[in-house]
Amino acid sequence: MDYREFINEVKNNILDYMPPGYETSVVRIDGTMKNNSVMKQGLSIHREGAAVTPKLYLEEFFQSYEDGNSMEEVCSHIANEYVKHTIGDRTFGLNSILDFEKAKENITTKIVFTKNNKSLLRERPSKKLDDLAVMYQIEVGMTEFGRATAPVTNELMESWGVTTDEIHHLAVENTERIHPSSLSAMECVLFGIEENMLEEGSTYQQCGLMVLTNESKVGGASVLANSQILSKVSDVIGDSYYILPSSVHEVLVIPKEFANTMELTPKELGTLVRDVNAREVSKEERLSDHIYEFDKDTKSLGIVKESKEKTKDLER
């Protein structure tokens, strides 16, 4: 059975494995464009009266089938996972998404690499951030696995009657309120020590490599859209710094003085980022293949050109 046949088998039989209440539901499977133009096939089960319908991607389940699990075992697993991803609090439904006054407090930011997301960016409002783009999403609830989101599309923004600038301002503020930023020494992260040098009362212990993300460590690279947080990082460390885009979930911070002392050139750091991306980061979770610099004097973020490779970034 190939992947297309597997998808049809799931679509035709999944309701037999769902718990009571799903008998008359409508099953849909459609492609969704993810970060860096990764296309994934998503399963959604539409129940009458359900406020928000989750989407479960099927690639990993097909791999489970190919690894020797029976179709019955795989469908049972899919059904269990789908229920876990269902939002418990159904108060934030479609009407809340369509009503800007209800949705505006839940709009947050998402950072992507512009060149590899052109088709996605044509459908969604965004703000340019050098060669990155800031997109927006609505946080609609929590599942057993964390937050569930819905994208802000051009069509939705037009129905709200607001501008990209208005959405951007709200989203940056909301993101920091809902998912506060976190700056920790790499050693603390590796040893599981809780630390956030951005919190009031925290002291900066000089270190060469830090992790900048959010408290949930999901989508933490969105901190790059918040110039106030980037300025606060430079105030904490007392220096300009390089930013290594580890993934869409976190970035690494290296003070420029430390990099100079260790003779770490931007070219070498760019090579390091590309090597790690190629070996350890899935295409969907990659952010960029070169490094950035935040200047503490000009309070500006920009590409370090020496870190770029002549070949096309992220196209490998």
Shared domain check, 193 and 174: no
Last residue of a domain, one of 47, 68, 85: 85
Say if 9 falls within a structural domain.
Answer: yes
Please tell me the predicted confidence (pLDDT) of residue 88: 58
The reply to whether 298 and 210 lie within a common domain is yes
User: For all residues of the chain together, what is the average pLDDT?
Assistant: 90
Task: Identify whether residues 214 and 228 lie together within a single domain.
Answer: yes
**Residue 316 pLDDT > 50:** no
* Model confidence band, residue 309 (pLDDT cutoffs 50, 70, 90): confident
Domain endpoint, select from 36, 56, 85: 85
Residues 167 and 191 in one domain: no
Please, which residues bridge with residue 138 across strands?
107, 150
Q: Are 203 and 295 in a shared domain?
A: yes
Q: Is residue 283 included in any domain, yes or no?
A: yes
Range of the domain at 137: 94-178
pLDDT digits (tens, 9 = 90+) for 191-250: 888 889 998 877 777 788 999 999 989 999 999 999 999 999 999 999 999 999 999 999
> How many domains is the chain built from?
3
Residues 56, 150 within the same domain: no
Is 76 inside a domain boundary? yes
Residue 188 lies in a domain: yes
Token pair of 93, please? 């439904």
Whether residues 56 and 117 share a domain: the answer is no
- Cα–Cα distance for residue pair 314/290, rounded to 1 Å: 9
Those residues with Cβ within 8 angstroms of residue 66's Cβ, 6 or more apart along the chain or in another chain: none
User: Which residues are within 8 A (CB) of 35 and not within 5 positions of it... i.e. 6 or more apart?
Assistant: 112, 116, 117, 120, 248, 284, 285, 286
Pair (144, 187) in one structural domain: no
171 and 105, same domain (yes or no):
yes
List the structure tokens of 161. 């009657």
My answer on whether 60 and 106 are in the same domain is no
* First-residue to last-residue Cα distance in the chain: 29
Q: Specify whether the CB–CB gap between 222 and 242 falls below 8 A.
A: no
Q: Is 179 helix (H, G, I), strand (E, B) or coil?
A: coil
Both structure tokens of 269: 């750091």
User: 314 lies in a domain?
Assistant: no
Write down which residue in 85, 112, 136 finishes a domain.
85
Same domain, 186 and 172: no
Query: What is the predicted pLDDT for the residue at 47?
Result: 86
Q: Is the distance from CB of 160 to CB of 118 less than 8 angstroms?
A: no
Going 21 to 26 to 29 to 32, the CA torsion angle's sign is negative
Q: Residue 141 pLDDT more than 90?
A: no
pLDDT of residue 142: 64
Asked if residue 172 lies in contact with residue 230, where contact means CB atoms within 8 angstroms, the answer is no
Please state the rounded mean pLDDT for residues 100-128. 95
pLDDT attached to residue 83: 87
Structure tokens at 4: 């297309």
Structural domain contains residue 105:
yes
Give the Cα separation of 84 and 40 in Å (integer).
Answer: 20
Answer yes or no: is 312 within a domain.
no
Taking only the tens place, the pLDDT of each residue in 26-55 is 999 998 888 888 889 999 999 887 666 788
More confident residue, 110 or 87: 110
| Judgement on whether residues 158 and 70 belong to the same structural domain of the protein | no
Residue 221 falls within a domain, yes or no? yes
Residue of 245, 253, 239, 247 whose CA lies nearest to 209: 253
Residues 258-305: tens digit of each pLDDT: 999 999 999 999 999 999 999 999 999 999 999 999 999 999 999 999
